[in-house]
Amino acid sequence: MRIDINESEIFKKLIEQNYNKQLIIPPLGITIDSRLHKPGDIYIPLVGENFDGHDFIPQISKNKPSLIVSEKKISIKSVLNVKNNREFVRNIAKIWRNKFNLKLVGITGSNGKTTTKDLAFHVISPSKNCFKTEKNYNTVLSSPLSFLSITKSQKVALIEMGTNQPGEIKSICDVLQPNIGLITNISNAHTEKFNSIKNIAIEKSQLFNCLPTNGIAIVNSDDHFISEMKTNAKQITYGFNGTPEFFGEIIEDKKLLINGNLIHLPYSGFSMAQNSLAVFALSTIIGIPINKIIKRIESFKLPTGRGQLINRNGIKIIDDSYNANPTSMITGLNRLIQSESNRKIAILGDMFELGNIEKESHEKIAKFLLNEKIDMIILIGKCMKNVQSILNENSNSFWFESHNKIINFLNDVIKKGDLVYVKGSRGMRMEKIIEGIN
């Protein structure tokens, strides 16, 4: 990971004042990966189970760094010795955060947080100078580190917050101090370290817990876990049921009504509608005019692997390959089922990080598939092999041991007019199958 430092002179003074270390040149960027280091960067080596970034300090020192932060005692001019490099990142990010007076929006949830962040940036940025964490930089390290690239002119910051073990949301909030919080939904994603969906909800709720009394919690009132979360901040609700302040109604495919305002969604499916409703609420709170919100939502393009529709030689492919959990997989399958096409083909890979509910979660997918009309089901992965055994009576289901075997099979049977849905966890590399479809 490497990030640019856009306020280099200010950052230079920050280091000098707080760490009593004079820098010869202002830092141009920060990297934790020696392969990405550029002259003028600060290098922060990390220690992992199978690597030690300190091993690369000799080569980095030849690349004209502005500073090397080291946990090991090294006597060279450009080195700042600290006890813990990860704690250094947290400390410097917390100091940096206090230099900026802005609306800092924390965005978390089991599904849709990256798309919601990207959509919010797409809507807000033409009207207000806006910052967002890039890619999936949403961990206790990458989220604060990414924030160090913010500029003084930016007045809104969209911070994605991810977690796969207890305490991580609070850790990010303690550093970045959000004053607006948005939790998309709660489901059994990343259950491995949490044991239950209730514990996931408790972890995500830390975002609302950390908000100040003059802050705003944007509440998905359709999600019973989120609607019951406690916060000292003002609550603004959105949903498709009851009487939330931002009420959404899907009136037909790709048409969404929010408080009487019609939006032609760029993509079909409930996830797109739900993310758009959340962003409509957030953008209104930020102060974006409704006509501009609608126009920007309608022009949004999904990032790769997050549900965009690909047209290839008369075949349509829904690329939902970026990641998967039980809730998002069923949501995506419903999008396939509700779409119009000659034939519907689902290609599914294993779902990871489910801990002790792994077997149960994959069986849930199998039972769902048994009760729905999908013309062909193609499976890959150890857990999906068990799904195939449940679907054994279903002659339209197939399990394969490799991407290449799926590609060869698919290219023999696929026809113009088919709609193909592809989904699996990141480690399954399902995008390889999409790349191989002729």
Q: Is residue 19 part of a domain?
A: yes
The pLDDT score that the predictor gives to residue 192 is 64
pLDDT in tens, 53-63: 999 999 999 99
Residue with tokens 């500073």: 67
Q: Name the DSSP class of 405.
A: H
Measured CA to CA, the distance from residue 239 to residue 293 in angstroms comes to 17
**Phi-psi sector, 313: left (phi>0), alpha (psi -120 to 50), beta:** left
Buried b (16+ CB within 10 A) or exposed e, 253-279: ebebebbeeebebbbbbebbbbbbbbb
85-110 mean pLDDT: 95
Same domain, 216 and 269: yes
CATH (domain of 270):
3.40.1190.10
Helix (H) or strand (E) holding 346: strand 343-349
The pLDDT score that the predictor gives to residue 187 is 86
- How many structural domains is the chain composed of? 3
Same domain, 11 and 54: yes
Does the pLDDT at position 316 exceed 70?
A: yes
Does the pLDDT at position 117 exceed 60?
A: yes
Which range is least confidently modeled, 68-72, 121-125, 282-286? 68-72
Same domain, 129 and 190: yes
Same domain, 324 and 343: yes
306-314 mean pLDDT: 90
The pLDDT score that the predictor gives to residue 293 is 98
Residue pair 327/111 in contact by the 8 Å Cβ criterion: yes
CATH (domain of 401):
3.90.190.20
Q: What percent of the chain has pLDDT over 70?
A: 98
Same domain, 328 and 401: yes
Of the candidates 247, 265, 298, which is a domain's last residue? 298
Q: Is residue 303 part of a domain?
A: no
Number of Cβ atoms within 10 Å of the Cβ of 313: 8
Please provide the average confidence, as pLDDT, over all residues in the chain. 93
CATH (domain of 18):
3.40.1390.10
pLDDT in tens, 184-229: 999 876 556 777 889 999 999 999 999 999 999 999 999 999 999 9
Q: Is residue 385 part of a domain?
A: yes
The pLDDT score that the predictor gives to residue 292 is 98
Higher pLDDT pick, 396 / 285: 285
Q: What percent of the chain has pLDDT over 90?
A: 82
User: 68 is in which domain, residue-wise?
Assistant: 2-85
Buried b (16+ CB within 10 A) or exposed e, 359-375: eebbebbbebbeeeebe
Same domain, 272 and 342: no
Residue pair 255/262 in contact by the 8 Å Cβ criterion: yes
Q: Is residue 92 part of a domain?
A: no
81-98 mean pLDDT: 95
Measured CA to CA, the distance from residue 166 to residue 199 in angstroms comes to 8
Same domain, 164 and 253: yes
Q: Is residue 362 part of a domain?
A: yes
Residue pair 353/377 in contact by the 8 Å Cβ criterion: no
Same domain, 77 and 143: no
Q: Is residue 286 part of a domain?
A: yes
Q: Is residue 90 part of a domain?
A: no
Q: Is residue 93 part of a domain?
A: no
Residue with tokens 């830390």: 206
Of the candidates 298, 320, 347, which is a domain's last residue? 298
Same domain, 46 and 139: no
